[in-house]
């Protein structure tokens, strides 16, 4: 089932940052169907849990609310000429920012996750003054761990508070 655009979402996006190939921006009504392909894909979401298609508009509205409250959310990642290919950005946590990303499998292996995350991190440091960013990766997800390694995160091992997921930290200026 392909969801229809949601009239409760804005029609215009705010660009957060640009990278050489990508645009990270806020969500719009037109993004419901493309991100539904990503968030409902079993392979993409096997470590994070798929979002039922009918809940996608509410998830995007929650992201926009987080953006308004904290200046961050998981942003739409747009490949100009191809549309939304995934998301990348942050969850606001009391102790800092948590990096997250999910991409349509048709675009895996092309460096988009690393490029989008690098752009998101630069934005967080330059615009929000972030000094520490964390991420968790399932032990069975070495591709995601490799992205964090390329970005300069330090692996800290299994985190019992996060069901044994591997904790990674990026400390600015360290």
Under a CB-based contact definition with an 8 Å cutoff, are residues 14 and 26 in contact?
yes
Sequence-distant (≥ 6) Cβ neighbours of residue 6 within 8 angstroms: 29, 32, 57, 60, 61
- Phi/psi at 159 (5° precision): -110, 105
Q: How far apart are CA 42 and CA 153, in angstroms?
A: 27
Q: Residue 5: inside a domain, yes or no?
A: no
Q: Residue 76: inside a domain, yes or no?
A: yes
Under a CB-based contact definition with an 8 Å cutoff, are residues 63 and 73 in contact?
yes
Q: pTM to 2 decimals?
A: 0.92
Instruction: Give me the pLDDT at residue 173, please.
Output: 80
Q: Residue 111: inside a domain, yes or no?
A: yes
Q: How far apart are CA 73 and CA 92, in angstroms?
A: 7
Q: 154 pairs with which residues across the strands?
A: 169
Instruction: Give me the pLDDT at residue 113, please.
Output: 98
Q: Residue 37: inside a domain, yes or no?
A: yes
Q: Residue 3: inside a domain, yes or no?
A: no
CATH number at residue 41: 3.40.630.30
Q: How far apart are CA 130 and CA 171, in angstroms?
A: 9
Domain that holds residue 81: 15-171
Instruction: Give me the pLDDT at residue 149, please.
Output: 97
Number of structural domains the chain divides into: 1
Q: Residue 6: inside a domain, yes or no?
A: no
pLDDT along the chain (174 residues), means of 10: 68 95 96 93 88 90 95 97 97 93 96 98 96 95 96 95 93 82
Instruction: Give me the pLDDT at residue 99, please.
Output: 98
Instruction: Give me the pLDDT at residue 10, please.
Output: 81
User: SS3 string of the chain?
Assistant: CCCCCCCCCCCCCCEEEECCCCEEECCCHHHHHHHHHHHCCCCCCCCCCCCCHHHHHHHHHHHHHHHHHHCCCEEEEEECCCEEEEEEEEEEECCEEEEEEEECHHHCCCCHHHHHHHHHHHHHHHHHCCCEEEEEECCCCHHHHHHHHHCCCEEEEEEHHHCCEEEEEEECCC
């Amino acid at each position: 089932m392909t969801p229809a655009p949601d009239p409760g979402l804005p029609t215009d996006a705010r660009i957060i940052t640009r990278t050489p190939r990508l645009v990270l921006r806020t969500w719009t009504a037109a993004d419901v169907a493309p991100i539904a392909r990503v968030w409902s894909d079993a392979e993409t979401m096997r470590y994070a849990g798929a979002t039922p298609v009918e809940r996608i508009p509410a998830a995007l509205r929650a992201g926009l609310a987080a953006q308004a409250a904290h200046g961050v959310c998981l942003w739409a990642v747009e490949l100009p000429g191809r549309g939304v290919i995934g998301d990348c950005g942050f969850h606001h946590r009391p102790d800092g920012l948590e990096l997250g990303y999910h991409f349509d499998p048709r675009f895996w292996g092309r460096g988009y996750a690393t490029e989008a995350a690098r752009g998101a991190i630069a934005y967080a440091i330059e615009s929000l003054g972030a000094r520490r960013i964390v991420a968790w990766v399932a032990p069975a997800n070495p591709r995601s761990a490799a992205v964090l390694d390329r970005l300069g995160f330090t692996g800290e091992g299994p985190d019992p508070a996060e069901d044994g997921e591997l904790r990674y930290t990026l400390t600015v200026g360290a």
